[in-house]
């Protein structure tokens, strides 16, 4: 391992607080990813590195092995540059102790916010994170990045500290699809696919779009028009109800997290930051009937989603229904409806976790618009095709998202 940053943890050369440990002079093995610098989220094990998952409970924990997901990228030549910060235990969507390098005063997103900041600041080229309800796609959308959540299952969760195992996935962020696509293919163990843009059929649910902030909906509609003019077919679909999806997803996350911390939370609540404490307190109030109802609803949601996808290449939504919120925002108003920031930011992303399929966030505007991103989603197992569709979409709505800007 190469030397760490000058202060021993990289802070002197990491003004946005992205890293827990950092190795600016990274080196790696020869391989197809050897031109890419890799940052890894602090809930994914890298041997000899901090493995705290953002929790004081694990402040002294060091990984004894490297997670298979990280190993795949490292063995393909990716150059490890450090461990990035996360919301405590993954309970959050803002990573409040990390600053947004491209939108000062706006949240960096979470819980994989450290990786997003590292990319946006040019300190890494790809970032490995986790996504249980949007934790890769939300920070990607807040920082103008590409974020990819694979299907649930193909990427091993061994060596990954869990939040909700039935929903957890290991995902990737990058500044461009050029960087993300080969890393995603390595992670999945597949070959990149190609697709002709003119043959792409995308589905849109306008009822869900009507529940987005007007500025986001307007930018989204302009992007859709560019896709239509580029030859893509836009179809109207009916997706699972958004509120029902958020409700079922949230209950399942809390129920599974409650099991993970069944001993530590009651014994040492002081070692859980506020966001984690609030989540686990809510989890403690769930009944068996609540959880059974959420699992039944999740089954209905998967069936409705799969039916909506029939004959289509992907479903298209905004990644976030609002512009990236300001730091410290606790509640967000969307068309007269006020909700917690967590609920607002997972409103569109949680569906892909609930159905277990792949999803990708792609920027369609620049920082002048505070970043609005498109989200592409597909049924479970359609990862390679979704990545190919994303490349075709990027070529029409935001060409620079498909061109490498890595340093």
Of the residues 6, 13, 27, 41, only one is catalytic, namely: 41
Q: What would the DSSP string read from start to end of 94-136?
A: S-TTS--SSSTTB---SSSHHHHHHHHTTS-SEEEEEESSSTT
What is the separation of C-alpha 134 from the centre of its chain, rounded to a whole number of angstroms?
4
DSSP for residue 49: S
Preceding peptide of 358 cis, ω within 30° = no
Q: What would the DSSP string read from start to end of 303-332?
A: HHHHHHHTT-SEEEEESSSSPPPBTT--EE
Active site residue 149: no
As a whole number of angstroms, the distance between CA 166 and CA 367 comes to 35
CB 46 within 8 A of CB 67: yes
The H or E element spanning position 247 is helix 242-260
As a whole number of angstroms, the distance between CA 177 and CA 182 comes to 9
As a whole number of angstroms, the distance between CA 323 and CA 195 comes to 31
Q: Tokens representing 389?
A: 């569709």
Q: Return the residue matching tokens 């990984």.
A: 63
Q: Tokens representing 244?
A: 């029902």
Of the residues 111, 250, 361, 373, only one is catalytic, namely: 111
Give the residue from 156, 159, 158, 147 showing the smallest Cα distance to 187.
156
As a whole number of angstroms, the distance between CA 325 and CA 96 comes to 12
Active site residue 41: yes
Of the residues 135, 151, 176, 373, only one is catalytic, namely: 135
Q: What number of other Cβ atoms are within 10 A of residue 206's Cβ? A: 11
145 CB contacts (<8 Å, ≥6 apart)? 116, 119, 120, 139, 173, 174, 175, 361, 363
160-to-128, 164, 165 alpha-carbon distances in Å: 11, 11, 10
Residues tagged active-site: 41, 111, 135
């Amino acid at each position: 391992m190469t030397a760490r940053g000058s202060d021993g943890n990289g802070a002197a050369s990491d003004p946005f607080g992205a890293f827990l440990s950092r190795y600016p002079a990274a080196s790696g093995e020869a391989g197809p990813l050897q031109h890419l610098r890799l940052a890894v989220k602090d809930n994914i094990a890298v041997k000899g590195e901090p493995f705290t998952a953002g929790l004081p409970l694990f402040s002294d924990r060091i990984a004894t092995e490297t997670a298979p997901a990280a190993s795949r990228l490292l063995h393909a030549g990716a150059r490890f540059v450090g461990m990035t910060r996360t919301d405590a235990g993954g309970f959050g969507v803002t990573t409040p102790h990390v600053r947004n390098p491209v939108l000062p005063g706006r949240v960096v997103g979470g819980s994989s916010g450290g990786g997003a900041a590292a990319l946006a600041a040019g300190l890494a080229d790809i970032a490995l994170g986790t996504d249980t309800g949007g934790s890769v796609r939300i920070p990607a959308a807040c920082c103008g990045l590409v974020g990819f959540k694979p299907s649930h299952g193909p990427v091993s969760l061994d060596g990954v500290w869990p939040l909700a195992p039935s929903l957890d996935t290991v995902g990737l962020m990058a500044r461009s699809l050029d960087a993300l696509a080969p890393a995603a293919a390595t992670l999945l163990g597949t070959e990149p696919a190609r697709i002709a843009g003119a043959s792409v059929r995308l589905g849109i649910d306008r009822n869900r779009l009507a529940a987005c902030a007007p500025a986001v909906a307007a930018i989204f509609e302009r992007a859709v028009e560019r896709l239509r003019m580029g030859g893509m077919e836009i179809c109207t679909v009916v997706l699972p109800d958004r509120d029902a999806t958020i409700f079922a997803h949230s209950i399942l996350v809390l129920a599974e997290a409650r099991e993970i911390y069944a001993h530590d939370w009651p014994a040492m609540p002081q070692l859980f930051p506020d966001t984690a404490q609030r989540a686990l307190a809510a989890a403690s109030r769930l009944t068996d009937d609540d959880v059974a109802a959420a699992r039944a609803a999740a089954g209905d949601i998967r069936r409705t989603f799969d039916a909506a996808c029939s004959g289509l290449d992907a479903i298209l939504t905004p990644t976030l229904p609002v512009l990236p919120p300001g730091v410290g925002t606790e509640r967000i108003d969307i068309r007269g409806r006020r909700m917690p920031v967590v609920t607002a930011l997972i409103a569109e992303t949680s569906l892909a976790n609930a159905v277990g399929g792949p999803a990708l966030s792609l920027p369609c505007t620049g920082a002048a618009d505070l970043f609005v991103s498109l989200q592409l989603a597909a049924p479970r197992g359609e990862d390679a095709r979704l990545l190919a569709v994303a490349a075709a979409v990027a070529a029409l709505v935001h060409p620079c998202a498909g061109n490498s800007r890595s340093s």
